[in-house]
Structure formats: structure tokens, C-alpha cells
């Protein structure tokens, strides 16, 4: 547990304690940790194992099963291009290709500056406004290939200005 | 909040709240009410800011006594959102932007005039339509069972739901014997809306008959089918209706606890459901001794974490139990051994949303809607290449033609209808010949697809059906949990064969292998995901065999989608030689020829351009930049 700072240990302990009354709290604990830190590295899994008594192998199995849980840190902006059917038939693959080209990363990867993570999503349920792109939860409607450069540029400009 | 402890108190509260609602919608002279769409589609087009702006203006102009503004669920006609509806006239404004708020307040609320420019324009007649029920999209619909209250009440205000009759069905059920409740649901003919269409009452009966002092009801809100969003809208628009359906089920089977399993991708739905549960608890409508009876019930929410297979009911149970979402072998069925090994019933969101109607209005009223074997209504998420994209609730038995052309308004840009995909990755494609088939569970299966949860994606001549099959297979490969080999390995091999075909390297032998592999997966997989995974392949093969053959024998993609089998070409007689394509080409592969464009003088530097196919990356930028329509896909 050497790598974890005491503040993190304290907070994770607090998260685990939130679900003391639940019989099978693992999913809820992991969701909260993922939300708080953006990823669930092995050290954290070991701590959760220690606190809950659930074997770390089982925790690792769960973390790697669900696409919302990540073993590595995500970028500050998580760009999710919807590849649901409605978006796909309206050309969202081309939108994703454009993000890949401009950010120079593949889906699942994070840009070197830590600013962007690119994800291919399976339907955000916004089929009426296809193709949809979700950036940190905000859904951009009817995104065209030609708009991708501006979307990235706007975020970069905002970050650069800070 | 006022507690509602008895049937009498509920009825009194209902009468009071109904009067408030009536006042809001029918308004006293000189008063008005504004509602703004709060569905995910409209929220992403800033409807929350729009509502805030309207509320600010109302305050600034001192109109608080004259008009109210609040959010409602979802109007369903998402391609025309955000919506603003003004009562009592019921004027519906479409595609309203934040900047339009001022004009709506000035002209409509203060001036009493309709803001013409924000009205819906009928695409066929080009006439402006002011009222919702006059719009063709809504005419054939029946939006008062599963989508009840969806575009009328504030989903975050329990009193509006009670005003619309929430909990009256529960109240009625609590005065019946649990077996009578089950009989009523059985008689109604309600079948599971999650896809398979199993009779809901029978599911309840199984769990009811198992003797155990602890049972669970689980609501499956893991709506993972790409292209489907009815469960999301139902919860976002009227969460109380689903909670009530769950409570009635709990009473019928003898459960005290209900679990909602909702996709983490639906934050708005989760938030509204949380608020609704909290309000129910505060009013004593959830908890112990509900409405003065011995019935106690508690609701809990569990979030998914992005795994499609968790929509499969036993995988879902594992996920709630904090495990990998892998299906369990059946039997034992969940009704015998489900959540934490206790008898459990898992019902889809839309199924539960139908239950209050059945109890309140009786099974006969419900069974009078629909076809012989499929009763009631079905909510479809109509999407893809169709003019009126959105969420529709229609009586079972409506034809696909009515759905696509009357409600959906046909195919955009004058293109030709090719197929409609129903049932998501488990379903199949239906074509021209199926258009007059009345939609119900059995007809869709007979036609080679399935009802599924209600996603309905329309495709036009520009969609390649081999590519569509490949799309679904990629999806299934990603989402297969890996537990059983037919699904894990079989779908991967299918995807490889499909990729080979779309790359132009396929043989007729591959086609045969694909077919036999698909059948092996179908008959040997452990759960519904694997058993239905090959359906997109089998159904596109059945309906579009020629297209597969074209990819293999002619090495052509008839829809010009598969990149390896198409190329961009410049039409010599249409090219004016402007060079726009060459300037935008990222691969620098467009060059000038010596040919003088038609109608241009030879002394000008303009020359017809040509794409060198060897270096072309087929990005299509040349085509999107050509203003003369001189570049085609071949």
C-alpha cells in the first residue's frame, strides 16, 4: 500500500464505509472510486480487497469486465463518439476516424498531454440527434466530420487560456 | 411533504392535485402555462438553459402570477426539439433556441399572439401546424399507456403524478388478493417488452407460487440495444409510473424489495428516479404499511457499468451481486433462484410502465388494444434514415408502412427505403415486402426479425447490408462476456469472415461457412445474447443475398460503403477544373489532366482533374468539397 497517499487511503476507506449495510457492495464501491479518481489501479484494488475481504482476483475480474472501469487514468476530456446503430448509419464512424486522426490516438487511448481520452461508445440513447458525441457527459448533437476540428480546437483554446 | 397514509388520503390528494393540474392546463382566464421538453435529446440542445431563460424573463417582467414554466419528460419528436408548449392554447413551438425565449414571452404570453416562425412546418404540405395533435407524427400514436404523462407532468414533482392518477392502481391492487392481481395481468395479455415477449403474468405466477419469505422484483433498465431509448424516456418522463408498476408486482408476488438496474449512461434518468423514490418515501408511499395496509416495499437503484450482456436477466443479477456480469445457466430460473438465490422476477421498464394502466382500467380495456396475441401498445425508438426521428408509442398491429411513412414521414432526401432493422443486435432486417405486416411479436418473428426492446432503425439505399451485419458482429464481439465458446469464438470468426468479404477477399465458400457457423452459434450458446447474435447475419443474408454475392463475385459494394470495394471518380463532363478537390485532398492524389472542361475556354488555366486511385485514402473530402457534383462514388 506504499504508493497510496494517506489522503487517498482515507477517502477510499470512506467510500467503502458508505456501503457497510449492503450485502454485495462491490459494484457501487468501484463506481464511486472510478468517479472520484477516473481510474482504479491495482493498489486501490488491493486496498478495497483489504477493507472488504473480497479477494483481489475477484475485484480485478470485475474491474476488467465492465467498460466503465479503467485501470489507467483517463484524460481530462473524455470524448465518446457514439457508434450505436442510429449514429453508425448516419456516419459516426467517419466522425470517430476524424477524432483519431486529429488527436493521433485510437479509441481507448489517452493523448500524451493527458487532455483527451477517445472512446467509441455503444449508444448513448440520443439516437434522434445522431451522430452524437459525448464529451465529459455533455452530448453534442448531429456532429459532422467538418465540426470535429472546431470541437477539439475550442477545448484546446479553453485549456490554453487557463 | 404531506404524508399519505390511507386510501382515503390518497384519493383526497389525487382530487386536489388533479384540480391543480387541470388549472394549469386549462388555465383561468388571462393565465398561461409553459412546459419545456427535458428529454436527453432536447437537453443536449440546451433546453435547460431555455427553461432558465424563460423563468428569468417571467420574473423580470413580473409575470409570476400570470404564467408558470416547468420541465416535462419527453415529447418524443426529438428531431424537432427543443419543444416549448404553451397552455391553454396548446401551441407547440419546435426547435426553440435560448434566444427565442424573449419572443415567446413578449408575443405569446404578453401579446397573446402565436409566434409563427417557431411552429412546425409539415414537410409534405409546407403548412405551419400549431397544435401537437395535428402533426402527422402524433396522429396514429397512442401515447397514454407506457408514455403516460410523459410530455405533460413535471417528472420531478410527485404531486403532478398523483394528480394524473399515480398510485390509484396500486390502491386498487392492495384491495385485491395477490392472485387476483396476477390473474388481471394474465388476462390483459401483457408480454415482456424487453424483447422475448414472455407473458408477464406467467412470470409473476411462477414467483408467486414459490414459498419463501424473501423475494425480489428487479426492473431491467439496462437498455443496451444500440438505437433504443424508450426505457430512458419512460423513466425520464414519468418515473413514478414505473415505481408504481414495480410496487404492484411486489405485492402480487410477495416481495418487499425492488431493485432498479439502470445503465450508467443514463444520468438524467437515474437522477429523476432517485428524486422520485425519495419523494415517495417522504410521503410514505414507499416504506412500511403502505396506504395503511400490511404491504411494505422499498426501492433501490443499482447502476450498470457499461456491459451490454447485463441486459440478459441472469447476468444482470450477477452484476447486482457485485460480480462479473456473466449469465447463469438455467434452470434454475430466477423465479425460483434469482437475486441472492431468492425467488425474483425481472421485468423491463416498459413492461412495468404498462402495469398501472391494466390495474386501473382493467384487463379488458387493455386487451382491447392490439392484435390477437400481442396486446396493448409498444414504444419504438424510430431512428436512422427517416424524416421524423423520435420516440413513438403505437398500438400493436400497426403496419411497418404506417410506422415508417405515416408517423416517420418517409425517407429523407428522396432516397429509397431499403430496410428497417428491429430488435437490435438480436433482431433482423425487414424489407419492402414486409411493409404491410402488422407489427406484433409473432409476425416479426415469422418475418425473420423480432420485436426486441423496440429499436427501429430505418436504412436507405446508401446503407450496405453486409456492412450492417459487420457492424452488429463487431458489437457482439466486443460485448460477448466470454463465458461460452460458441459465442466467444464463433462471433469472432463470423466477424473475420465478414471483414474478409467487405475487404473484397471473400469467396463463395466463406458465405457457406458463415451460414453454418451462424447456425452453430445460434443453437449452442448459453444465453440469449449468443443465441440471437447471428440474427443480423442470417436475416441480411436471407433478404440481401445478392449484395453479399456482389461483394464476393463482382468485388463491388452496391451501396458504395465498403471502402476496399469503392473508389471516388471525377466525372469529366461535370468537372469545371476549379481545383477545390485537389486543394483539400489530404493524400495529394488529385492531379490536373490536359482536358479542357466542357464550356471553358482553352486559354484559361482550368483543366479537368483526376483522382489517382493508388494513393487515394477514400476519405471523401474531395466529394464534400466539390460544389458541382462532379465527384461520385463508383
- The span from the CA of B195 to the CA of B423, in Å, is 7
Question: Which parts of B35-177 fold into alpha helices (H)?
Answer: 40-44, 47-60, 101-103, 136-139, 158-163, 168-174
Strands A138-140 and A133-135: antiparallel
A98 to chain B: nearest residue by CA?
B619
DSSP line for B256-286: SEEEEEE-TT-HHHHHHHHHHHHHHHHTTSS
What is the phi-psi region of residue B317: left when phi exceeds 0, alpha when psi lies from -120 to 50, beta otherwise?
Answer: alpha
ipTM score over 0.90, yes or no:
no
Tell whether A139 is within 8 A of chain B (Cβ): yes
For B382-401, how does the pLDDT look when each residue is reduced to its tens digit (9 = 90+)?
999 999 988 999 999 999 99
B247-253: average pLDDT: 98
pLDDT at A2 over 60: no
- C-alpha dist (Å) from residue B546 to B430, B447, B465, B466, B550: 16, 19, 10, 10, 6
For A65-113, how does the pLDDT look when each residue is reduced to its tens digit (9 = 90+)?
998 899 988 889 999 999 888 888 888 998 999 999 999 999 989 999 8
Q: Enter the C-alpha cell of residue B420.
A: 428497417
Nearest to residue B230, comparing CAs of B24, B380, B398, B33?
B380
User: What is the per-residue pLDDT for B452?
Assistant: 86
Q: Enter the C-alpha cell of residue B387.
A: 424524416
Residue that wins the pLDDT comparison between B188 and A89: B188
Residues of A in contact with B324 (CB under 8 A): 61-62, 65
Residue B391, SS3 per DSSP: strand
- C-alpha dist (Å) from residue A32 to A12, A47, B303: 9, 14, 11
pLDDT at A47 over 60: yes
Backbone angles phi, psi at B262, to 5 degrees: -120, 145
Exposure class string for B521-559: b at 16+ Cβ within 10 A, else e: bbeebbbbbbbbbbbbbbbbbebbeebbebbbeeebbbb
A141 contacts B41? CB cut-off 8 A = yes
| Residue B219 near residue B311, CB atoms below 8 Å | no
Which pTM does this prediction carry?
Answer: 0.91
- The span from the CA of B621 to the CA of A94, in Å, is 11
Indicate the fold that domain A77-161 takes in CATH.
Glutaredoxin (3.40.30)
- The span from the CA of B498 to the CA of B510, in Å, is 9
User: What is the per-residue pLDDT for B87?
Assistant: 92
What DSSP element (H or E) covers A77? strand A77-82
Domain boundaries, chain A: 6-65, 77-161
From the list B81, B383, B455, the residue facing A130 with the nearest CB is B383
Domain architecture of chain B: domains with CATH:
31-139 (3.40.30.10), 158-367 (3.40.50.11540), 377-460 (3.10.20.600), 465-554 (1.20.1440.230), 567-633 (3.30.70.3270)
Residues of B in contact with A85 (CB under 8 A): 226-227, 383-384, 421, 424, 455, 457, 471-472
Residues of B in contact with A122 (CB under 8 A): 224, 226, 306, 308, 475, 478-479
- The span from the CA of B157 to the CA of B35, in Å, is 13
pLDDT at B257 over 70: yes
Q: How confident is the model at residue B541 (pLDDT cuts 50, 70, 90)?
A: very high
B478 contacts A86? CB cut-off 8 A = no
% of chain B at pLDDT higher than 90: 83
Instruction: Give the sheet arrangement for strand B32-37, strand by strand.
Output: B67-72, B32-37, B84-87, B91-93
| Residue A124 near residue A83, CB atoms below 8 Å | no
User: What is the per-residue pLDDT for B69?
Assistant: 94
% of chain B at pLDDT higher than 70: 100
Residues of B in contact with A140 (CB under 8 A): 44
Q: How confident is the model at residue A157 (pLDDT cuts 50, 70, 90)?
A: very high
| End-to-end CA separation in angstroms for chain B | 67
What DSSP element (H or E) covers B71? strand B67-72
Give me the residue label for grid cell 387541470: B22
| Residue B451 near residue B425, CB atoms below 8 Å | no
pLDDT at A1 over 60: no
Backbone angles phi, psi at A66, to 5 degrees: -95, 135
Instruction: Give the gap in angstroms from C-alpha A158 to the nearest C-alpha of chain B.
Output: 20
Cis peptide leading into residue A86 (ω within 30°): no
Please count the other Cβ atoms lying within 10 Å of the Cβ belonging to residue B634: 10
B90-97: average pLDDT: 94
Residue that wins the pLDDT comparison between B345 and B617: B345
Q: Enter the C-alpha cell of residue B37.
A: 421538453
Residue B392, SS3 per DSSP: strand
| Residue B360 near residue B165, CB atoms below 8 Å | yes
At how many degrees (to 10) do helices A42-52 and A26-37 cross? 140
pLDDT at B582 over 70: yes
From the list B305, B421, B624, the residue facing A66 with the nearest CB is B305
From the list B45, B223, B424, the residue facing A125 with the nearest CB is B223
| Residue B578 near residue B598, CB atoms below 8 Å | no
Instruction: Give the sheet arrangement for strand B417-422, strand by strand.
Output: B390-395, B377-384, B455-460, B417-422, B428-431
pLDDT at B613 over 60: yes
Nearest to residue B231, comparing CAs of B70, B39, B46, B359?
B39
Please count the other Cβ atoms lying within 10 Å of the Cβ belonging to residue B100: 19
Question: Which residues pair with residue A80 across a beta bridge?
Answer: A119, A134
Instruction: Give the gap in angstroms from C-alpha B173 to the nearest C-alpha of chain A.
Output: 30
| Residue B305 near residue B265, CB atoms below 8 Å | no
Instruction: Give the gap in angstroms from C-alpha B382 to the nearest C-alpha of chain A.
Output: 8
For B447-461, how does the pLDDT look when each residue is reduced to its tens digit (9 = 90+)?
989 998 899 999 999
From the list B44, B223, B384, the residue facing A141 with the nearest CB is B44
- The span from the CA of B276 to the CA of B387, in Å, is 34
pLDDT at B218 over 80: yes
Tell whether A50 is within 8 A of chain B (Cβ): no
Residue B215, SS3 per DSSP: coil
B79 contacts A128? CB cut-off 8 A = yes
- The span from the CA of B45 to the CA of A23, in Å, is 41
pLDDT at A162 over 70: no
Tell whether A138 is within 8 A of chain B (Cβ): yes
Strands B417-422 and B455-460: antiparallel
Give me the residue label for grid cell 405515416: B406
Tell whether A137 is within 8 A of chain B (Cβ): yes
Q: How many contacts (CB atoms, under 8 Å) link A and B?
A: 145
Residues of B in contact with A130 (CB under 8 A): 383-384, 389
- CA B50 to chain CA mean position, Å: 24
- C-alpha dist (Å) from residue B282 to B15, B163, B275: 20, 17, 11
- Burial of residue B434 (CB within 10 Å: 0-12, 13-18, 19+) is buried
- The span from the CA of B534 to the CA of B546, in Å, is 19
A65 contacts B475? CB cut-off 8 A = no
- The span from the CA of B80 to the CA of B334, in Å, is 42
| Residue B192 near residue B311, CB atoms below 8 Å | no
Residues 6+ apart with CB under 8 A from A12: A4, A33, A44, A47, A48, A51
For A113-136, how does the pLDDT look when each residue is reduced to its tens digit (9 = 90+)?
889 999 988 777 777 788 999 998
| Residue B426 near residue B535, CB atoms below 8 Å | yes
Q: Which of A128, A136, A145 to mutate to test the interface with B (most CBs of B within 10 A)?
A: A128
Among B42-46, B72-76, B238-242, the range with the most confident prediction by mean pLDDT is: B238-242
Instruction: Give the gap in angstroms from C-alpha B389 to the nearest C-alpha of chain A.
Output: 5
Strands B120-121 and B91-93: unpaired
- Beta strand residue intervals within B231-386, DSSP E: 257-262, 298-303, 344-348, 377-384
Backbone angles phi, psi at B437, to 5 degrees: -75, 130
User: What is the per-residue pLDDT for B361?
Assistant: 97
Q: Which of A87, A89, A137, A140 to mutate to test the interface with B (most CBs of B within 10 A)?
A: A89
Nearest to residue A95, comparing CAs of B632, B499, B619?
B619
Q: Which of B81, B223, B226, B298 to mutate to test the interface with A (most CBs of A within 10 A)?
A: B226
Tell whether A21 is within 8 A of chain B (Cβ): no
Tell whether A135 is within 8 A of chain B (Cβ): no
Residue that wins the pLDDT comparison between B496 and A128: B496
B398-427: average pLDDT: 93
Q: Enter the C-alpha cell of residue B262.
A: 439502470
At how many degrees (to 10) do helices A42-52 and A56-65 cross? 130
Give me the residue label for grid cell 402488422: B438
- The span from the CA of B116 to the CA of B99, in Å, is 15
- Beta strand residue intervals within B539-603, DSSP E: 568-570, 590-592
pLDDT at B162 over 90: yes
Please count the other Cβ atoms lying within 10 Å of the Cβ belonging to residue B296: 14
Instruction: Give the gap in angstroms from C-alpha A8 to the nearest C-alpha of chain B.
Output: 23
Residue that wins the pLDDT comparison between B79 and B375: B375
Q: Enter the C-alpha cell of residue B184.
A: 388481471
pLDDT at B479 over 60: yes
DSSP 8-state code for residue A72 = S
- The span from the CA of B55 to the CA of B347, in Å, is 39
Exposure class string for A113-132: b at 16+ Cβ within 10 A, else e: eebbbbbbbbbbbbbbbbbb
Average pLDDT, chain B: 94
Nearest to residue A63, comparing CAs of A74, A75, A71?
A71
A24 contacts B303? CB cut-off 8 A = no
What is the phi-psi region of residue B209: left when phi exceeds 0, alpha when psi lies from -120 to 50, beta otherwise?
Answer: alpha
Amino acid at each position: 500500500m506504499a504508493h497510496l497517499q494517506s489522503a487517498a487511503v482515507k477517502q477510499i476507506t470512506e467510500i467503502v464505509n458508505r456501503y457497510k449495510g449492503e450485502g454485495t457492495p462491490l459494484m457501487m464501491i468501484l463506481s464511486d472510486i472510478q468517479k472520484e479518481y477516473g481510474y482504479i489501479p491495482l493498489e486501490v484494488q488491493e486496498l478495497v480487497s483489504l477493507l472488504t475481504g473480497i479477494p483481489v482476483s475477484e475485484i480485478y475480474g470485475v474491474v476488467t469486465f465492465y467498460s466503465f472501469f479503467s485501470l489507467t487514468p483517463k484524460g481530462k476530456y473524455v470524448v465518446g463518439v457514439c457508434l450505436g446503430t442510429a449514429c453508425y448509419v448516419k456516419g459516426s464512424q467517419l466522425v470517430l476516424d476524424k477524432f483519431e486522426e486529429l488527436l493521433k490516438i485510437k479509441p481507448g487511448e489517452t493523448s500524451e498531454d493527458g487532455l483527451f481520452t477517445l472512446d467509441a461508445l455503444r449508444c448513448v440513447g440520443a439516437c434522434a440527434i445522431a451522430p452524437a458525441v459525448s464529451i465529459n457527459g455533455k452530448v453534442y448533437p448531429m456532429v459532422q466530420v467538418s465540426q470535429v476540428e472546431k470541437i477539439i480546437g475550442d477545448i484546446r483554446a479553453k485549456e490554453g487560456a487557463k | 411533504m404531506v404524508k399519505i397514509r390511507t386510501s382515503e388520503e390518497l384519493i383526497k390528494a389525487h382530487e386536489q392535485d388533479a384540480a391543480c393540474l387541470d388549472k394549469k392546463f386549462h388555465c383561468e382566464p388571462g393565465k398561461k402555462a409553459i412546459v419545456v421538453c427535458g428529454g436527453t435529446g432536447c437537453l443536449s440542445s440546451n433546453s435547460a438553459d431555455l427553461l432558465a431563460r424563460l423563468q428569468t424573463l417571467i420574473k423580470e417582467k413580473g409575470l409570476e402570477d400570470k404564467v408558470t414554466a416547468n420541465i416535462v419528460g419527453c415529447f418524443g419528436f426529438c428531431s424537432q426539439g427543443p419543444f416549448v408548449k404553451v397552455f391553454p392554447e396548446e401551441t407547440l413551438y419546435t426547435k426553440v433556441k435560448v434566444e427565442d425565449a424573449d419572443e415567446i414571452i413578449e408575443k405569446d404570453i404578453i401579446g397573446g399572439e402565436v409566434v409563427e416562425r417557431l411552429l412546425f412546418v409539415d414537410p409534405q404540405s409546407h403548412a405551419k401546424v400549431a397544435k401537437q395533435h395535428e402533426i402527422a407524427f402524433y396522429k396514429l400514436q397512442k401515447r397514454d399507456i407506457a408514455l403516460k404523462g410523459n410530455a405533460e407532468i413535471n417528472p420531478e414533482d410527485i404531486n403532478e403524478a398523483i394528480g394524473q392518477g399515480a398510485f390509484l392502481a396500486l390502491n386498487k391492487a392492495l384491495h385485491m388478493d395477490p392472485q387476483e392481481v396476477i390473474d388481471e395481468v394474465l388476462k390483459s395479455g401483457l408480454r415482456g417488452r424487453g424483447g422475448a415477449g414472455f407473458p408477464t403474468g406467467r412470470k409473476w405466477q411462477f414467483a408467486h407460487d414459490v414459498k419463501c419469505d424473501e423475494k425480489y422484483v428487479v426492473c431491467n433498465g439496462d437498455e443496451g440495444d444500440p438505437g433504443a431509448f424508450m426505457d430512458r424516456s419512460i423513466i425520464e418522463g414519468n418515473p413514478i409510473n414505473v415505481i408504481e408498476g414495480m410496487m404492484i408486482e411486489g405485492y402480487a408476488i410477495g416481495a418487499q424489495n425492488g431493485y432498479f438496474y439502470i445503465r450508467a449512461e443514463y444520468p438524467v434518468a437515474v437522477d429523476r428516479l432517485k428524486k422520485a423514490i425519495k419523494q415517495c418515501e417522504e410521503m410514505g408511499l414507499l416504506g412500511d404499511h403502505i396506504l395503511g395496509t400490511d404491504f411494505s416495499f422499498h426501492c433501490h437503484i443499482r447502476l450498470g457499468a457499461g456491459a451490454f450482456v447485463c441486459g440478459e436477466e441472469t447476468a444482470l443479477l450477477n452484476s447486482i451481486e457485485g460480480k462479473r456480469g456473466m449469465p447463469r445457466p438455467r434452470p434454475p430460473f430466477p423465479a425460483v433462484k434469482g437475486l441472492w438465490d431468492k425467488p425474483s422476477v425481472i421485468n423491463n421498464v416498459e413492461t412495468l410502465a404498462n402495469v398501472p394502466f391494466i390495474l386501473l382500467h382493467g384487463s379488458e380495456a387493455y386487451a382491447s388494444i392490439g392484435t390477437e396475441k400481442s396486446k396493448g401498445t409498444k414504444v419504438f425508438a424510430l431512428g436512422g434514415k427517416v424524416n421524423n426521428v423520435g420516440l413513438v408509442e403505437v398500438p400493436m398491429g400497426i403496419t411497418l408502412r404506417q410506422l415508417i411513412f405515416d408517423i416517420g414521414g418517409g425517407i429523407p432526401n428522396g432516397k429509397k427505403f431499403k430496410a428497417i432493422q428491429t430488435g437490435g443486435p438480436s433482431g433482423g432486417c425487414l424489407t419492402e415486402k414486409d411493409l404491410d405486416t402488422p407489427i406484433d411479436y409473432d409476425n416479426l418473428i415469422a418475418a425473420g426479425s423480432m420485436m426486441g426492446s423496440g429499436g427501429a432503425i430505418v436504412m436507405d439505399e446508401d446503407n450496405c447490408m453486409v456492412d450492417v451485419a459487420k457492424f452488429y458482429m463487431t458489437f457482439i464481439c466486443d460485448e460477448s462476456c466470454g463465458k461460452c465458446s460458441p459465442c466467444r469464438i464463433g462471433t469472432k470468426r463470423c466477424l473475420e469472415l465478414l471483414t474478409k468479404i467487405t475487404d473484397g477477399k471473400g469467396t463463395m465458400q466463406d458465405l457457406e461457412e458463415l451460414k453454418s457457423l451462424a447456425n452453430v452459434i445460434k443453437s449452442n450458446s448459453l444465453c440469449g445474447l449468443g443465441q440471437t447474435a447471428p440474427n443480423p447475419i442470417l436475416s441480411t443474408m436471407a433478404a440481401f443475398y445478392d449484395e453479399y454475392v456482389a461483394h464476393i463475385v463482382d468485388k463491388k459494394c452496391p451501396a458504395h460503403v465498403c471502402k476496399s470495394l469503392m473508389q471516388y471518380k471525377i466525372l469529366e463532363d461535370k468537372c469545371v477544373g476549379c481545383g477545390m478537390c485537389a486543394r483539400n485532398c489530404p493524400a495529394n492524389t488529385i492531379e490536373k489532366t490536359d482536358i479542357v472542361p466542357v464550356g471553358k475556354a482553352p486559354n484559361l488555366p482550368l483543366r479537368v482533374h483526376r483522382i489517382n486511385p493508388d494513393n487515394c485514402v477514400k476519405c471523401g473530402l474531395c466529394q464534400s468539397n466539390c460544389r458541382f457534383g462532379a465527384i461520385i462514388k463508383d
